[in-house]
Structure 1
Amino acid sequence: MPSIEVAERPGVGPDGAVRPSEDVVVVLPNAVVLLDGATSLDPALPSGGWYANRLAHELSGRLVGYPDADLADLLAAAIKALARDQGLVPGESPSSTVALLRWNDTRVEALVLADSPIVAFTTTGTHLVTDNRLASMPRGSGYRDRLASGAGYDDDHLMALRAAATSMSRRRNTEGGFWVAEADPDAAHYAERATWPRADVHTVLMATDGVSCGVDTYHVFPDWTAVRDLALTEGPESVLDAVRTAENNDPNGTRWPRPKPHDDQALALVTFI
């Protein structure tokens, strides 16, 4: 089994209040599951963390019990079982990103659905498995313009965020939109995939967007190689520290307009050699 280190840290809700993390990481004998439950702005819905925890449970049993089954098929079965058992309805349910890493004696497999990337460092270079469909969706100015103007995280921000979330939900799990684990098992087959010979893989990073923003948005790290190097030398917690320090230096979201001051953070460092 490879060496696996995990770092996790809760963020805050859209109102700035501290609450439990909605990120979930599960380490199995043959896989790592990393999920990022989407924060719900509808009090009538269960939380994204509630969904992510239950989906992780459904996935874990299948990954161990069916080690050679197709990853997308396993994810589809997990989504279907959770939706059936909890009475979830497509388009009206909590959701989560999915990042799966699985290995055996000969290969390493990755699956990514929505914005929780996997980065593999191999003998042939750096390989980024990412799903950019959510990031490519057209977004109205809304809360981002308010934050950029210095309005901060006030009550009007929450109203603007709800409006943006309502608009984005219409594109969830639709052709031309973006795909995420929710109540439609077909979403699993829209995931991004990659496979490498195990002998070629040195290290793999798995991250939620509360960490990947340090590369993609804040540019705290010039690239994923810098993230890997810091995680290997000082531990995964040091990566979380660097991202959180950047956010602390932009407390009102003026430089980097974002839904909340601090997102949940989760990072897995998997070392094969």
Structure 2
Amino acid sequence: MPTIQIAEQAGVGSNGDPRPTEDHVLTLDDAVLLLDGATAPSPEQPPGGWYAGLLGKQLADELGARPDDDLGAVLARAIAEVAKTHDLRPGSSPSSTVAMLRWNAERVDALVLADSPIVAFGRSGHEVLADGRIAALRAAGKLYTGADVRARRNAADGFWVAEADPAAAGEALRRSWPRDEIETVLLASDGVAVAVDDYGLFDWHDVRALARAQGLHAVLEAVRVAERGDPHGARWPRAKRHDDQALVLVEFAN
């Protein structure tokens, strides 16, 4: 069984005030789940962290009941069950990213929906499984307002995220690797991945090296130090001064 380390840290709300993290990490005997609930666009909606917690638990239940099922099918069932149980409707419900890692004696499977990447390190290098649709839309100026986000969420010309429509699971990105070729896997919410993708503080090899040498919280704190040096988002424009952070390090013994 691999060794699993987890580090989490809450960010702040859009108003700058502290609030509980909306990231959720769950571990099973043969899987790790990381979900990042999206901040609700209006106070009438339940928070994204509430939804991410429910969806994470449902995913864990589904994986426990059907450990060999296709990860996309597992995600679709979980989305449908949470939506049914809590009467959620597409387009007017909270949402969450999903990163799923599962392993057995033969292979390692991964699934990513929205911007919580998985990075697998092996004998021949590393592979980043990342859903770049949100970043591409932001770079093109197409997610400037909350209305833009709502219009393009789970739309053919937009981005896909877990919400109330199980069809979103079919848009997830997936990879499988032979088990004996994988040494380490990282899972990260975008509050950590931003250090690589936007801030340019590290590459993923640096993240792994720092996590191994000084612990996972050293990675999280390095991001915070950079953000405290840019408190008003002049260098790195962002909706919140500090986002929630979640980082998981899975070390396979080969």
Query: Which of the five TM-score ranges fits, normalised by the shorter chain?
Result: over 0.9
Deviations, residues 82-140 of structure 1 (Å, cap 9, x unaligned): 00010000011000000000000110000000000000001121100000011111326
Is the 8 Å Cα contact of residues 38 and 49 (structure 2) preserved in structure 1? yes
Is the 8 Å Cα contact of residues 97 and 114 (structure 1) preserved in structure 2? yes
Paired position in structure 1 for 2:78: 78
Is the 8 Å Cα contact of residues 14 and 260 (structure 1) preserved in structure 2? yes
Deviations, residues 126-172 of structure 1 (Å, cap 9, x unaligned): 10000001111132696xxxxxxxxxxxxxxxxxxxxx112121011
169-178 or 88-97, larger mean C-alpha shift: 169-178
What root-mean-square deviation, in Å, do the aligned CA atoms of Structure 1 and Structure 2 show? Answer: 1.0
Q: Please, what TM-score do these two structures have when normalized by structure 1?
A: 0.90
Match of 1:235 among 211, 215, 236: 215
Larger radius of gyration: 1
> Distance between the aligned counterparts of 2:80 and 2:155, measured in 1?
17
> Distance between the aligned counterparts of 1:166 and 1:50, measured in 2?
22
Mark the runs of 5 or more structure 1 residues left unpaired by the alignment: 143-163
Is the 8 Å Cα contact of residues 29 and 64 (structure 1) preserved in structure 2? no
169-178 or 100-109, larger mean C-alpha shift: 169-178
> Distance between the aligned counterparts of 2:123 and 2:169, measured in 1?
29
Residue 226 of structure 2 corresponds to residue 224 of structure 1: no
Mark the runs of 5 or more structure 2 residues left unpaired by the alignment: none
Residue 14 of structure 2 corresponds to residue 34 of structure 1: no
Is the 8 Å Cα contact of residues 30 and 64 (structure 1) preserved in structure 2? no
Residue 100 of structure 2 corresponds to residue 100 of structure 1: yes
- Regions of 4+ moved over 3 Å: none
Paired position in structure 2 for 1:211: 192
After superposition, where does 1:17-96 map in structure 2 within 5 Å? Answer: 17-96=17-96
What secondary structure does 1:202 align onto? strand
Letter matched to residue 38 of structure 2: A
What secondary structure does 1:170 align onto? helix
- Closer/same/farther in 2, CA of residues 141 and 108 from structure 1, 3 Å limit: closer
Residue 139 of structure 2 corresponds to residue 168 of structure 1: no
132-141 or 36-45, larger mean C-alpha shift: 132-141
> Distance between the aligned counterparts of 2:141 and 2:40, measured in 1?
18
- Aligned residues, how many? 251
